[in-house]
Amino acid sequence: MRLTTTTTPGPSRVARGTARFTAWTMAAVVAGLALTFLLDRSTYSAPVQHLYYLPIILAALRLDWLGGLLTSITAVGLYHLANPALLSFAYRESDFVQIALFIAVGLVTARLAENGRRLHAMAMTDDLTGLHNLRSFEGELTTMIRSARTSGVPIWMLVLDLDRLKSLNDTYGHLTGAEAVRYVGHVLATQLPADAVACRYGGDEFAVCVVNRTEQEIRNIAERLCQSVHAGAPVLAGRPFPSGTLSISVGVAAHPGAMVEDDVKAGEALFRSADEALYGAKSRGRNQAFVARPATRTYAAAAGRSGA
């Protein structure tokens, strides 16, 4: 499943947007190189030659290290063509410095950009499960609600947690409990649809947001999660456990997109409704999903109960 993209645009729309962004970046890089080359050939001026750094930096920032390196090499070639004396390798000391800087600027900028992206991903990711953390999920949820308000599609939220985690911790230790939480996170990442956004917002508490699904489809998703966790035979802290050891309870709620007015308040209300549904699943024996009706906020048992 995707962990960092919103739902409403859809995979193909996101891919088209990324492709357009890359195309515009490449066009800007090519235009920058061409313009600098023309100025360099007409002036032979060192200050003008420094303009090669701009497309190199842009490529390194937006097209990763390979784009930065290729742009640096291209700049070196254009630098030679614009200064014919260099074609016979009649280098001055300043030429060696300029060529070295072209390559260094491209590689160093790409490395810094990659480190920045990695730090951003770490800041937005839950360390234990690899899902969104709460900060990232709140941003994704607000974006999804805003989009759903425009398109009028319903938004579904699933709130779930591990059943009887305290008993597992008390019997086998907290490391086993942490591994159980990690296992549930893995089930979410593999069983949820690709356009879902999931996070761990507490110790063993998870939230999932999905848009544009029918009630039956969302019931099927919740049922599949319960069944997958309960049927698994996990290895926790080096100890194998039989299937049926773990189970989850899931609360489900929906907010019709057309009724959403305030994005933040709508997200909070949606979460509260799903959280109440989670208590409904717990009170009816755990290891099952429970759906809250959007209008009345009364509960209806999900079709698929995977066992007591």
Helices 53-62 and 64-82, interaxial angle, to 10°?
160
Q: What are the residue boundaries of the structural domains of the chain, listed by start?
A: 11-124, 134-301
The model's confidence at residue 87, banded by pLDDT at 50, 70 and 90, is confident
Q: What does 40-73 look like in DSSP terms, one character per residue?
A: HHHH--HHHHGGGHHHHHHHHHHSHHHHHHHHHH
Q: What is the pLDDT of residue 259?
A: 53
Q: What is the pLDDT of residue 17?
A: 54
Burial letters 143-157, b for 16+ CB under 10 A, else e: bbbebbbeeebbbbb
What percentage of the chain exceeds 70 in pLDDT? Answer: 87
Q: What is the pLDDT of residue 300?
A: 40
- State the pTM of this model: 0.69
Q: What is the pLDDT of residue 302?
A: 39
User: For domain 134-301, which architecture applies?
Assistant: 2-Layer Sandwich (3.30)
The model's confidence at residue 272, banded by pLDDT at 50, 70 and 90, is very high
Mean pLDDT of 83-95: 84
